[in-house]
Amino acid sequence: MKTVFEKSSAEIKGMEMPAPQVEKHIFAEGLLRDGLRLPELSEQEVARHYTALSKRAFGVDDGFYPLGSCTMKYNPKLHEKLAALAGFADVHPLTRADKIQGSLALIDTLNSYLCGITGMDAFTTQPCAGAHGEFLGLLLIKAYHASRGDGARTKVIIPDSAHGTNPASAVMAGFEVVHAGTDASGDIDLDALRALVGADTAALMLTNPSTLGLFEKNVLKIAEIVHDAGGLMYYDGANLNAVAGVVRPGDMGFDVVHLNLHKTFSAPHGGGGPGAGPVGCKKALVPFLPNPRIADTDEGFRFNYGKRSAGRVSAFYGNFGVLVKALAYIVTLGGEGIAQASETAVLNANYLREKMSLHYPIDTSRPCMHEFVVSMKKLKDDTGVTANDVAKALIDRGIHPPTIYFPLIVEEAMMFEPTETETKEGLDRAAEAFGEIVRLAYADPAAVKRAPVTTPIGRPDEAAAARHPVLVG
């Protein structure tokens, strides 16, 4: 598609600059541009250009978006309006605390709700993404061990089903990563874990439900093993959408947690942002939270600077607009509504999995949580059609591909997360589209391998496209 500059025509006058209201200023030699090339297009052409561009993207508002692990749920539009209120959106982050009491109250209120939802004692909203939160959480753990003179705790145990950001964050925070194996049912192998923990264990990082969409039923036992060895439990809260309002990481034995507000708490995301990955912790780690902390004092909300802080991870207080949306979501749903959302997310995932299993062998013997993983290995062995091909064919049927080839421990993995906001009719349509593709794979595999045929481009070199994007032409 041509850019607005390429569409520009000398024949058309795009805009007229208003007559200057001030006296003409003579700039010094060399400071003047020799021209400003703005595209010349009519208003209608500009409207058509941007409308056409918007149609080349696919978002939650376009159709079903079951991207596993990403919780692409519907985001109420009212939240945008609230985040855009001038009193929130136009505040300069360097404004004095006494002039922004409302914004500070909002962060403080959100922190206390997040404590209630997770069973933690305090929160910080500084991290701007899940991985950013992981990094901070691990710095807290490091500072905690160091404060006890326990600097030998250099290893972080991470299950082989974990999201890639977990080991990356651990390494960035200066730890060595040790992989914990999972057993045939996808749970952490307890005997192997007992053999792994020791005086060098700093923490175990876990998401529950796991990236296989399964609730780790031994979580209390795992926490006991890690705590007995002197390590801490880190909760990757990216999968909280299955359990929010039902169980709390704090009650499962976790000491530190990050949440992805851009998933569970309904901030629109994709394409790299915007996000928020607030971190909560138990009392023993509170002194290490980043500065400044917001304190509710007799004179109102004030900034506090703790002496033992593990450091600051954001210039200010995080992605404030996302915090507004998350609080709006929590307040709108309330405790019961949040639990209901989680239960519906789990119900929808189980329903979709059952429906899809009518078309393709899927093990449904153990209930899944908010997402589930299907291996397309049999389809590949039988027909040559891969998980990637099925994902591409879903695009032609108006469905965003699920996550594919993750988690790494499942061959030809496709991970579906329908979320609670999809209707039964939408789920039925998705299961039918999946079945249609499976049938086509057996009848005419080449047709599936040609997909997608309804998009401007079909099969780019995805690694090259991400690393060397060509944004024009």
Q: Which residues bind ligand PLP (CB under 6 A)?
A: 69-70, 129-131, 163, 165, 207, 211, 236, 238-239, 260, 275, 277
Give strand pairing partners of 155.
Answer: 176, 201
CB of 341 to ligand PLP, least distance (A): 18
User: Which amino acid would we find at residue 88?
Assistant: F
The tokens of 393 are what?
A: 């064919």
For ligand PLP, the closer CB: 389 or 417: 417
Please give the radius of gyration of the chain, using alpha carbons only, rounded to the nearest integer: 25
Residue with tokens 């918007």: 54
Residue nearest to ligand PLP (CB): 130
Please list, in sequence order, all residues whose beta carbon lies within 8 angstroms of the beta carbon of residue 261, skipping any fewer than 6 positions away. Answer: 267, 275, 276, 277, 278, 322, 323, 325, 326
- State the nearest-atom distance from the C-beta of 242 to ligand PLP, in Å: 12
Tokens found for residue 420: 């609670």
User: Nearest approach, Cβ of 239 to ligand PLP (angstroms)?
Assistant: 6
Spatial CB neighbours of 214, under 8 Å, sequence gap ≥ 6: 185, 186, 187, 366, 368, 369
Contact 101, 301 (CB under 8 A): yes
- For the bound state, the minimum distance from the C-beta of residue 264 to ligand PLP, rounded and expressed in Å, comes to 11
User: Distance between CA 179 and CA 43 in Å, rounded?
Assistant: 57
User: Closer CB to ligand PLP, residue 219 or residue 451?
Assistant: 219
- Name which of 254 and 360 has its Cβ closer to ligand PLP: 254
Q: Between residues 252 and 440, which has the closer beta carbon with respect to ligand PLP? A: 252
Least separation in angstroms between CB 67 and ligand PLP: 9
Q: Select 114 or 433, whichever has its Cβ closest to ligand PLP.
A: 114
- CA 329 → CA 64, 65, 78, distances in Å? 21, 20, 10
If the CB atoms of residues 250 and 278 are measured against ligand PLP, the closer one turns out to be 278
CB of 142 to ligand PLP, least distance (A): 19
Tokens of 366: 């153990």
Q: How far is the CB of 252 from ligand PLP (least distance, A)?
A: 16
Q: Tell me which residue of 259, 319, 248 sits closest to 136, measured CA to CA.
A: 259
**How far is 123 from 113, CA to CA, in rounded Å?**
10
Which CB, 238 or 324, lies closer to ligand PLP?
238
